[in-house]
Structure 1
């Protein structure tokens, strides 16, 4: 025999009821002997709770909620019932609702709602739903009978969460089922006391009812039909890529249910375990899927853990003081006091010093807990043996669960490593000696992030997902997006999934948790983007609180830089070609770096100096291996490299600059390149990386432009002025060529002193043979004294800069994986 339990979502709509009856017909055609336990229509129990409270508060609006409940059931009858059945069922539902209405009116008049009366109010949900299902099944050819569980299950008088009296209950169930050959549709959740008063088995009690009935009838299997494909690896509402577990042991299921797995309720398992009856968790709307089987044995499915369960809202009580140490009776008094006050303890941990005991409770129990403990330990607190009770709210519990965790090194390391890399602070930890569960308390704001980080590390270890937020989608940003799109499939083969969650320009931004479409991002930003500045963009990025997040700054904006501290403080790595932070105020830069180190995230800015060239990486490798930077020289501007490499005898300097502008090598105003400020910032960045505490004022510039060119009103006027000085530049060129040298715009640093200037260099210099728009940097060190170490290659352009940023994104992936 099998006992099938259908949840509220299964019977909450006409389509759901039809699906349920289809399942019953399928079992009937197979000749299987079954019984059914049924829940209230989805949402009705919550409405009954609300309507009871409103009536008790003398709120006349309770009648509106009651009317909604009435209409919901009448509409169900109108939709699924036909002919005489519809008339009969409508009349009987009216009887149920009249009784409920009279009961609530009494509550409204006396302004009192005891637990006993509340149980009676709540019973109407299951009674009406089960009656509807029995009548609809009969109409569709399934011989079914409505069975009120109040005539079967006997409990004590602990209304709201009554304790079952199994001896009498089992006898009642056996007798009832022996008298009828029809399919029994049993009301879940409800029961009665020995004197016949309606009681309930607590929320989730319908599952418990199924287990009670199954155990009493020695069923072969108990099936819990719900709206998901069995027990998932974690909460699918919080983590998108979850898996259905094929099997669980009773112990694993007990742990999962205790920590919030809503498809199983803890009391359900006890009756089934007592008779070794397997439970199957199935999906009413996907009946072909086999779901999850819960039994004695746990199967090895290739992962360290079976699942990640959680409770989103808990409070943590810290009970401490010198009077606890070595006093055996204190824990006993503590938990007895909580038990007598009916306060459930979710999680317990104790310091090895025995000076403190911490435990988690439901937040609503916080004030009562404080009151109970202060009353129990009043004398010790007066004498300062025990401190005042501290309760911390806005917390959550997350638990990794699985029998394969036993004696498995590295499981805890993965957990704490993943949390640490994502900046998630662990408030408390507990692990039993069974090694079946490692539980951590975290801040509630980090709840979703914790679930995603742990799910990725345990179940998606073959795939790391990076969530990218990109500020600046101009030339460099759009090129980066194109490069990511081109490499997307190849990266997936390397177990890296790049998810572009947010993009922003100077006026608007767009977020999509599923990933912005890389084929259509421009149109989506235009159509779906919201107006806002970078502060708004960062605020929303931080509030999303996603694991494995990277912020890419493709701008040259100081406003973006001002957000770096906030980004890093929220454990989000940064990669950027923006030079303003790394060449700005020295102390602020150190604060940024210290924050990144403290939060365990990365702050990369390789592309701020040599675009895609490994300049900073090479410099740091030298220092980390024990070398020392004595001198740095570099042609650090691709624009100025192109201009002076193209400036030959027979050409005019102003025309070369115009050509560079037309080719897109310069800024719209070429003076922004020719003034040397960009190069000045780059040599400052390298000097700081070399260990010198320098500011921008420590870098001297020997300007190459006459003052009249700098003061020109606009770009055309600038070119007119520049042409007037072509003879000056021609003279510099001839002087250099006469000595067999070439002109190079060089930044240099030696001994903490830096200079940016136009220099003539001969064939012996490594910069002599430079061509095109290449950058070149040389490092003179004790190891590379006679022949400096040279890094050379394209140092400008959107393609190479974006590629450099892309490379840093991959470096962050390697760190996270």
Structure 2
């Protein structure tokens, strides 16, 4: 025989009940011997409880009761449940009259959910030509009188079950969840007790298998409603399933496993709505060690007992647990510190107030002596249990949580060292589950990216990410998800990622936005591993960095402004990064895609004394002077060529004034902990004063006025020299400030600077160890593609961390 159990969603009107009938019929016509256990249909248990509470408070419950009767009677005659509804009416009227109800009355009312379900299914099976019989479990399962959570008396119950099934040939449809005392009083076996009923029948009848039909394909590595990437687990051992049940896996009742283990009866979790799926098989056979699943305790509260006088005082634990035992309150987690902070207990929320009152009474005298300062209850918590986790690798999920700014309130591990539970804030639950799941199960790690600015660099970057994402996911197991793209006025946002038509979408569908709204969107959608990418040149946008960092975003930027504002802001930004344990990467701020900043950071961190940095910092000016020095053309023609190739800003004076080079030089100075300000840099402006105040248009038509000025400079050089516009950091770099200078120089063509070609940049890093032979970094220093690739590199560095 096989025991088939169907849950409330499976038995719901419509597709559910039809699927259940089909599954049973298939077994019946194959001559398989089966017994069926049912839960209440749909939301019947919750609805009956709501009506009961309405009646207790004297409210009008008739409308709720009418809806309940209509739903439960669908497809049967109007008077089919007349006896059941009449009894319920009397019970509700009695409760309303007394304004109260006992656990005994509550059990009587809730039992009708299963009684109606079993009677309904029996009728529907008979209607289809199957031989089916309704079985009231109260005639079989005899329990103690612990109403609400009764315990079966095995010796009597087993005898009753075996006697009933001895000569049964029809499909027995048994009420789950309920039993009766020896005197015939209705009891219930606790929430989700229908699984327990089925498990007991399987044990008593030596069933070949217990098949638990639900609305999902089996047991998953996490609740698939909370974690989209959750994977089905093919096999579990009884021990693992028991741990899952104890730590909140709602698909199993905590007591379900024990009767199965006694007789080594396999349990299979199946999907009513996908009966072809093999589900999850649970047997006595041990599976490979390792983390199996994440389970959640959601309707729980944390009780904190705090007091200096608790330190080293004996008997405190015994007093706490005596209160819990006297009130029949189960403690799922206890965490005890050796400090004055005392003890934390996790209990069911519906018993938390009772526990609080009991503890306050027990420790009343300790308040007067000030041994206990405070006893409080926090209802805004959830518990995530990592089943199969041991402490040796726990740092990985824990670090991932901290990286996403989710700080557990407390955690503990079992004595086996194979399960760890984390108490977290309830509003962090979904994001925490996704973060831990992504870290543990080797599924794709999702990186959620918001891109601000989609001009040449930003647009190129977005297209690079979209075109490379599949390959990166395949090779690195990292899914890059651009969930937001914004310019100065419009935003497109989609938690599942933007499409390749993002340019058209932002033009046609872009909405006004604030950075706060993007932060809130990420919170509302529980997005993890957040990166904000700044491809603007905006000083105003930089003001959002700290708020982004404080809300769990790492920052990647091609925008130089943040690193070149006041030194006070520079330090404030670093302080925010340290406090929130976030990262700010900006490799492209100085050398486009060249590994310059990382190199300088590494040298400085290792204690290397950097004595000077010199180089051509601007790819635009590199192109101009590399070509002007070697070609017999007027300066204006070379400049026009640079403008046409897109090397300069629309107004080339933004390049020629030297401010861009100065900002880059200042960034490097600050990497060496120098406290220079921008206005301390000596900058040689390459634009003659007479041309500085012209409009952009006027300047562009006056470029030939630069020719005589630069011809004179070119002709005055020593033979064999060429012109280079450089930035130079020198002086005693062990002090608070260095000497920063941006200038046009003449250097031998044979030198490293002199041999520069095209639009390349070059940087010479002089150190104490290397003496007069500098470390040279040279390569492409301009272009949207190169810069975007550098920003992309920073994103991947962050994605690969941890």
TM-score (norm 1): 0.91
Q: Equivalences for 1:373-772 in 2 at 5 Å?
A: 373-402=359-388, 410-460=392-442, 463-506=444-487, 507-517=489-499, 519-525=500-506, 529-647=510-628, 650-712=632-694, 714-736=695-717, 739-751=719-731, 752-772=738-758
Cα shift at 1:65: 2.3
Cα shift at 1:609: 0.9
Tell me what 1:180 maps to: 168
Q: Could you list the per-position Cα deviations for residues 514-567 of structure 1 after superposition, in whole angstroms to 9, with x for gaps in the alignment? A: 3333x3333454566543123322332345443333222222223432222233
Cα shift at 1:598: 4.2
Tell me what 2:356 maps to: 370
Cα separation, partners in 2 of 1:332 and 1:277, compared to 1, 3 Å: farther
Cα separation, partners in 2 of 1:159 and 1:582, compared to 1, 3 Å: same
Q: Distance in 1 between matches of 2:150 and 2:293?
A: 30
Q: Which moved more, 1:580-589 or 1:89-98?
A: 89-98
Tell me what 2:64 maps to: 65
Q: Equivalences for 1:302-317 in 2 at 5 Å?
A: 304-317=290-303
Q: Distance in 1 between matches of 2:589 and 2:531?
A: 17
Tell me what 2:5 maps to: 5
Q: Distance in 1 between matches of 2:552 and 2:789?
A: 24
Q: Equivalences for 1:736-815 in 2 at 5 Å?
A: 736=717, 739-751=719-731, 752-815=738-801
Cα shift at 1:150: 2.6
Gaps of 5+ in 2: 732-737
Cα separation, partners in 2 of 1:447 and 1:758, compared to 1, 3 Å: same
Cα shift at 1:435: 2.1
Q: Distance in 1 between matches of 2:376 and 2:136?
A: 46
Secondary structure of residue in 2 paired with 1:146: strand
State the aligned residue count: 794
Cα separation, partners in 2 of 1:452 and 1:778, compared to 1, 3 Å: same
Conservation of the 8 A alpha-carbon contact between 2:400 and 2:435: yes
Q: Equivalences for 1:244-283 in 2 at 5 Å?
A: 244-283=232-271
Conservation of the 8 A alpha-carbon contact between 2:681 and 2:740: yes
Q: Equivalences for 1:14-163 in 2 at 5 Å?
A: 14-60=14-60, 62-74=61-73, 76-77=74-75, 86=76, 89-163=77-151
Conservation of the 8 A alpha-carbon contact between 2:594 and 2:779: yes
Secondary structure of residue in 2 paired with 1:168: helix
Tell me what 2:211 maps to: 223
Q: Distance in 1 between matches of 2:642 and 2:369?
A: 83
Cα shift at 1:385: 2.8
Q: Could you list the per-position Cα deviations for residues 37-75 of structure 1 after superposition, in whole angstroms to 9, with x for gaps in the alignment? A: 111222222222222222332332x3332232233234x
Conservation of the 8 A alpha-carbon contact between 1:534 and 1:559: no
Cα separation, partners in 2 of 1:294 and 1:527, compared to 1, 3 Å: farther
Secondary structure of residue in 2 paired with 1:659: helix
Conservation of the 8 A alpha-carbon contact between 1:469 and 1:541: no
Cα shift at 1:416: 3.0
| Root mean square deviation, CA, Å | 2.6
Cα shift at 1:594: 3.6
Secondary structure of residue in 1 paired with 2:532: strand
Cα shift at 1:605: 0.6
Gaps of 5+ in 1: 78-85
Q: Distance in 2 between matches of 1:444 and 1:493?
A: 34
Cα separation, partners in 2 of 1:709 and 1:53, compared to 1, 3 Å: farther
Q: Could you list the per-position Cα deviations for residues 601-646 of structure 1 after superposition, in whole angstroms to 9, with x for gaps in the alignment? A: 3211101111101111121232234322211112212222222233
Q: Could you list the per-position Cα deviations for residues 273-305 of structure 1 after superposition, in whole angstroms to 9, with x for gaps in the alignment? A: 3443332211112222222222333211xx621
Q: Distance in 1 between matches of 2:379 and 2:92?
A: 35
Deviant stretches of 4+, over 6 Å: none
Cα shift at 1:335: 0.7
Secondary structure of residue in 1 paired with 2:434: helix
Cα shift at 1:322: 5.5
Secondary structure of residue in 2 paired with 1:346: strand
Cα shift at 1:179: 5.2
Conservation of the 8 A alpha-carbon contact between 1:509 and 1:537: no
Secondary structure of residue in 2 paired with 1:256: helix
Q: Could you list the per-position Cα deviations for residues 768-790 of structure 1 after superposition, in whole angstroms to 9, with x for gaps in the alignment? A: 12222221111122233323222
Q: Which moved more, 1:798-807 or 1:164-173?
A: 164-173
Q: Could you list the per-position Cα deviations for residues 308-365 of structure 1 after superposition, in whole angstroms to 9, with x for gaps in the alignment? A: 2122354322334455455553322211111222332110122357983322123444
Tell me what 2:194 maps to: 206
Conservation of the 8 A alpha-carbon contact between 2:657 and 2:684: no
Conservation of the 8 A alpha-carbon contact between 1:400 and 1:438: yes
Tell me what 2:734 maps to: none
Q: Could you list the per-position Cα deviations for residues 243-300 of structure 1 after superposition, in whole angstroms to 9, with x for gaps in the alignment? A: 2222222222122112221111112223333443332211112222222222333211
Secondary structure of residue in 1 paired with 2:604: helix
Secondary structure of residue in 2 paired with 1:66: helix
Q: Which moved more, 1:357-366 or 1:260-269?
A: 357-366
Cα separation, partners in 2 of 1:796 and 1:355, compared to 1, 3 Å: closer
Q: Distance in 1 between matches of 2:19 and 2:504?
A: 42
Q: Which moved more, 1:566-575 or 1:106-115?
A: 106-115
Q: Distance in 2 between matches of 1:298 and 1:513?
A: 40
Q: Distance in 2 between matches of 1:422 and 1:343?
A: 34
Tell me what 1:191 maps to: 179
Conservation of the 8 A alpha-carbon contact between 1:583 and 1:685: yes
Cα separation, partners in 2 of 1:511 and 1:255, compared to 1, 3 Å: farther
